[in-house]
Amino acid sequence: MIETRRRALVQNVLNADLPVAVRGRGVWLQDDAGRRYFDACSGAVVSALGHAHPRIVAAIADQAARLTFVHRGAFAPEPTLRLAERLTALTGYAAAWLVGSGSEAVEAAMQFALQYHRETGRPERQWFLSHRRGYHGNTLGGLSLSGHGRRAVVGDLAYAFAELEAPATRRDPSPAAERLHTDQLLAGARAALERNRDRIAAIVVEPVGGATLGATVPPDGYLPGLRSLADEFGALLVFDEVLSGMGRTGRVLAADHWGVRADLVALGKGLGAGYASIAGVLLDAPVLDAIAAGSGRIAGGHTYGGNPLAAATALAVLDVMEQERLVERAERTGAVLRLLLDRLAAAHPVVAEVRGIGMLQAVELELDPGAAPGVTAARFAENARAAGAIVYVATGGFLDAVLVAPPLVTTEAELQVLVGMLESALTTFESTVPSRGIQDRSRSEGGSGPDPARGLDIA
């Protein structure tokens, strides 16, 4: 019997043989063997400013020498106060509540919605509506909102909140078809609200589909329609912008593309840009005012939420985003990325669709009839890694797509390099799927030939 060496680190796939990352610079990552990778998905759509940005590194060092932690019940940290002011000025919301991760932000948004209804005399409103094919985090509340394979981990402890149909992928883009799709989605949402009349606390959705459906952009009338339905039925509207917010789509918030304002917004990922673990909830004035006029207290909170080191890091992230005009740049470079990916799709029949908005794009592959959803995309991601690019495989068990969401600082020349790597990966991938049958040779064949990424210095 051959014994398998067990690692002390528990990973999603136990004992996974992953490269050991040791350094990052700009859009590049380097492993302990000296191989360089293009961070084509910003980690998990996190590293919006790339790696080792000198201004962020300097801000972290400066704050670490001043103050790293105080308890929120004893002090209001100066960087945290300034961060909340910057976020509200940037977005127009009344206040910000800071936590440590996107999952915590979604959970906090749910608690704010519940508290709002208690403070306004409607404590029976304790139910939520969300997409069947969405993802809102790995907490119990977040999983209850999610139509995602991870729900199985908590079994019947998760509530059946996910009742709404999500905007479809690979749909007819004609105006008539989009209007029909919008009408169908909103009719389903209305029916769900009718079934749960007078007990809905909030509707919680991702403005642009993220980890589960891979950069699915809603039809134009959908988010405005949800806003109207929430108002009609006395529910709050919560946007989960953990993945899509902070300039990723070419707007500060993805919902800004449709001019729709939620009552609560969950932020994360790009707020700390991978330099610190920080997330938050934006509160619109009616929600904040109701709590202030009632108990005047927030019962929740996390130990590290809004700590001064993370807050100072996020302030530096906002400084860089403003000074380098990264939100506007994401719109421009996102258009270039989309053009390059569309050309790639035209040359490779295995690509079923390219979709997305700004620097949040996805490539969906034709599903192999003999494989479970997600397997094909995972195999392509292995080919991409062998070619030198790291892409993010859509999760949840619904389709075969990878997110292509490089850092917002990526140049057009770097996009050309990236798409060249994806071209190589697709060519290799297609060679392993003769007659549309995917064979498990991607790992061995994907790395054949010369390795142009090895030995490049990013020190």
Last residue of a domain, one of 323, 351, 375: 323
Task: Return the pLDDT at 130.
Answer: 97
Do residues 358 and 319 share a domain?
A: no
Give backbone dihedrals phi and psi of 451, rounded to 5 degrees, phi first: -110, 95
Do residues 332 and 392 share a domain?
A: yes
Do residues 47 and 59 share a domain?
A: no
Do residues 92 and 232 share a domain?
A: yes
Give backbone dihedrals phi and psi of 56, rounded to 5 degrees, phi first: -75, -40
185 Cβ contact partners less than 8 Å away, ≥ 6 residues apart: 164, 165, 167, 219, 222, 225
Do residues 234 and 375 share a domain?
A: no
- Strands 360-365 vs 36-39: parallel, antiparallel or unpaired: unpaired
Last residue of a domain, one of 288, 323, 358: 323
The answer to whether residue 455 is domain-embedded is no
The ranges of the chain with pLDDT < 50 are 1-2, 435-459
Task: Return the pLDDT at 9.
Answer: 85
Beta strands, E only, 74-215: 95-99, 127-131, 162-164, 200-205
Distance CA 43, CA 50 (A): 9
The answer to whether residue 341 is domain-embedded is yes
The answer to whether residue 1 is domain-embedded is no
Domain that holds residue 379: 21-52+325-446
- Strands 360-365 vs 401-404: parallel, antiparallel or unpaired: antiparallel
The answer to whether residue 437 is domain-embedded is yes
Do residues 338 and 307 share a domain?
A: no
Among the listed residues 255, 419, 415, the one whose alpha carbon sits nearest the alpha carbon of residue 334 = 415
Q: How many domains does the chain have?
A: 2
Task: Return the pLDDT at 455.
Answer: 33
The answer to whether residue 105 is domain-embedded is yes
The answer to whether residue 458 is domain-embedded is no
Q: Which amino acid is at 29?
A: L
Do residues 148 and 38 share a domain?
A: no
Torsion of CA 97, 103, 107, 110, to 10 degrees: 90
Do residues 308 and 347 share a domain?
A: no
Do residues 139 and 287 share a domain?
A: yes
Ramachandran category for residue 198: left, alpha or beta (phi over 0 → left; psi -120 to 50 → alpha): left
Q: Which amino acid is at 127?
A: W
Model pTM?
0.92
The answer to whether residue 2 is domain-embedded is no
Do residues 424 and 439 share a domain?
A: yes
The CATH number covering residue 441 comes to 3.90.1150.10
Tokens of 341: 């990916």
Do residues 305 and 336 share a domain?
A: no
Supply angle C-alpha 388, 210, 185, rounded to 5.
Answer: 145
Last residue of a domain, one of 272, 303, 323: 323
The CATH number covering residue 280 comes to 3.40.640.10
Do residues 240 and 336 share a domain?
A: no
Which residues are 390's β-sheet partners? 39
Tokens of 155: 């079994």
Distance CA 134, CA 208 (A): 10
Residue 147 per-residue DSSP state: -
Among the listed residues 42, 77, 110, the one whose alpha carbon sits nearest the alpha carbon of residue 266 = 110
Among the listed residues 404, 405, 398, 406, the one whose alpha carbon sits nearest the alpha carbon of residue 213 = 398
Among the listed residues 330, 131, 331, the one whose alpha carbon sits nearest the alpha carbon of residue 223 = 131
User: Which residue has tokens 């980690």?
Assistant: 43
